[in-house]
Amino acid sequence: MSKMPKVTVCVVTYNQEEYIEKCLQSIIEQKTEFDFEVIVSDDCSTDNTRDIIKDFASNHSNIKPILRDENIGALENFVDTHARANGQYICHMDGDDYWLQSKLQRQVDFLDKHSNCNLLWTRSLFIKGDKLLADNIDSSDVFNRKYYRSDIIKYIAIGANSSHMYRSKFKLEKRPNFDVVDYYKNVVTVGSGYATFVNDEALTVYRVGVGISSSGSGVVTLMLKSMRSFKEDYSDCKSSIFSPSLLMFYSCVKRKRILLALKFLLLSLSTLSVKGLFNLKKDLSFYKTFVIPN
């Protein structure tokens, strides 16, 4: 591939021999009118994942494997892989998820036509074991609306990470002094534009209960650091931190993570506003929209 690809697909994986073939097959079967590259980064797997990746790479010239000799951790693997992307648009894919055939073309068509959209998700189906589950969203308003930086800060997780596509000019150039989670990256990536869904059709399949848990104490600590960073970096979005920090306070109390709970409580109090209080009930209701079905 001599010219810059239209899209770079970044796949991160570790010990996912059961799923990685389905993942990669769904990528190479995408029906597109453009060239795309696939960077598959294996974080020193100890199972058969690496061999499966090598096999795909030997048969498909647009697949570029990164086979690490030591484990650098899921978050560092994520950031480093995206930093290597060459495409005009960049997608993320976890090695246990997969796409339906028109996913890439639909998103590229949308971004080509909407220059102010910097981050684009697709609706997702959820698979738990052998059971395919629909999401809990019963309103098309969720998929038709525009989400600005303040909204992404407030709602934390809107679209599935494996469904998103963004413009390469918003690649993470300046890293914070803590590990980057997708929440932080989405807030930075949206820039001064907006994020949205390509439509209300499910084009991504997300596996429930596989991979890193977003409720683990390490990830929750990084969420706290992310919110503190947003408070300093985006003063115009300060009031948007109140609801999610209060939600995280409640979540930490339920899990008996008292120290973390107190830190989130202090953050919520420091971002308290009349507007935040007024919108709290509506915000909490909106969070329920994106609860993963089980």
- Pick the last residue of a domain from 181, 207, 233: 207
How large is the average pLDDT for residues 126-139? 81
Same domain, 19 and 40: yes
- Over residues 258-293, the pLDDT tens digits come to 999 999 999 999 999 888 888 888 888 888 777 777
Whether 32 shows a pLDDT value over 90: the answer reads yes
High-pLDDT (> 90) share of the chain, %? 78
Whether 166 shows a pLDDT value over 60: the answer reads yes
Same domain, 246 and 166: no
Reduce the secondary structure of the chain to three states and give it as a string: CCCCCCEEEEEEECCCCCCHHHHHHHHHCCCCCCCEEEEEEECCCCCCHHHHHHHHHHHCCCEEEEECCCCCCHHHHHHHHHHCCCCCEEEEEECCCEECCCHHHHHHHHHHHCCCEEEEEEEEEEEECCEEECCCCCCCHHHHCCECHHHHHHHCCCCCHHHCEEEHHHCCCCCCCCCCCHHHHHHHHCCCCEEEEEEEEEEEEEECCCCCCCCCHHHHHHHHHHHHHHHHHCHHHHHHHHHHHHHHHHHHHHCCCHHHHHHHHHHHHHCCCHHHHHHHHHHHHHHHHCCCCC
Domain range for residue 56?
7-207
Residue 1 in domain: no
Same domain, 42 and 117: yes
Same domain, 25 and 95: yes
**Contact assessment for residue 94 and residue 12, using Cβ atoms and an 8 Å cutoff:** yes
- The number of distinct structural domains making up the chain is 2
Distance CA 201, CA 274 (A): 37
Residue 132 in domain: yes
Same domain, 111 and 194: yes
How large is the average pLDDT for residues 235-256? 94
Same domain, 279 and 159: no
Residue 294 in domain: no
Helical packing angle, 217-233 and 258-270, nearest 10°: 20
Distance CA 289, CA 139 (A): 9
Question: 244 to each of 94, 143, 250, 273, how far by Cα in Å?
Answer: 25, 21, 10, 13
Give the pLDDT band (50/70/90) at residue 101: very high
- Give the model's pLDDT for residue 282: 84
CATH code, domain with 114: 3.90.550.10
- Over residues 169-204, the pLDDT tens digits come to 998 777 899 999 999 999 999 999 999 999 999 999
- Over residues 33-72, the pLDDT tens digits come to 999 999 999 999 999 999 999 999 999 999 999 999 999 9
Residue 212 in domain: no
Least confident of 127-136, 220-229, 269-278: 127-136
**Contact assessment for residue 136 and residue 293, using Cβ atoms and an 8 Å cutoff:** yes
Q: Which two tokens stand for residue 208?
A: 């429930």
Same domain, 195 and 227: no
Amino acid occupying residue 21? E
Residue 227 in domain: yes
Contacts of 229 (CB under 8 A, 6+ apart): 176, 178, 184
* Closest alpha carbon to 82 in 10, 14, 179, 5: 10
Same domain, 111 and 190: yes
